[in-house]
Amino acid sequence: MLKRLIYAGLLGLVGAGIVHIAILLLLPSFSERDAWSKLAAAAPLYTPVRAGAGAVDLLQSPDPLFEAAACRFDLADGVARLTARGLVPYWSVSVYDRDGDNVYSLNDRTATADGLDLVIATPGEMTSLRKSLPAEFRSSVFVEVPIDDGMVVVRSFVPDDSFRPGVSAFLGGLTCLSRPAEAEAQ
């Protein structure tokens, strides 16, 4: 009888542990306080949000030498295009899916022109773009992602306060636009 009681107790503990781990792993999927939700509360799709603007504390970097801006996109609307002009010491871009998983990253060392010019597309949209590349995309960096909607975070390095105006202008001039799928075929 004691063996059965110990066995049932251990089985209950193992089962409770498995349920606990499953809940912890699933929690980000059901949370309303994730990065996507915070950005959605701060601004609509394709609207850049600067770090420290409103309730968007998710962009606050633990490193005070970096400033950031982010925007959400939906590739069902067509390709997403990000641009920012200006000379800054360093910038990086990270593309995240809706759950906050990083799907692509690049920095200014991989860009082809001054500033940021990035086009994000699904594999199908990318095929369409390759068939007839619009003139406006000739100097763009293309990112093919297997997601429908996501977020882009642009970070820039501020080595000292003399660089702050340039970095602020760079991030403040960030555009995040959608180009409808019909326009790609033209």
> HEC string of 44-68?
CCCCCEECCCCCCHHHCCCCCCEEE
Does 133 have pLDDT greater than 80?
yes
Question: Per CATH, is 35-185 categorized as 1.20.140?
Answer: no
- pLDDT for the residue 147: 93
- pLDDT for the residue 132: 86
Q: Which of 85, 93, 98 is nearest to 34 (CA)?
A: 98
Please state, in angstroms and rounded to a whole number, the distance separating the CA atoms of residues 120 and 17: 41
Each residue's pLDDT tens digit, 73-123: 999 989 999 999 988 999 999 999 988 899 999 998 877 667 899 999 999
Please state, in angstroms and rounded to a whole number, the distance separating the CA atoms of residues 131 and 126: 9
Return the beta strands (E) in the chain as ranges.
49-50, 66-74, 79-84, 91-97, 102-107, 116-121, 141-144, 149-157, 175-179
Please state, in angstroms and rounded to a whole number, the distance separating the CA atoms of residues 90 and 163: 11
What torsion do the CA atoms of 64, 44, 77, 134 make, to the nearest 10 degrees?
-50
Sequence ranges of the domains in the chain? 1-30, 35-185
Reduce the DSSP state of residue 113 to 3 states and report it: coil
Answer whether 156's CB lies under 8 Å from 179's CB. no
Each residue's pLDDT tens digit, 40-74: 888 899 999 988 655 456 666 667 888 999 999 99
The identity of residue 128, as a single letter, is S
Does 11 have pLDDT greater than 50?
yes
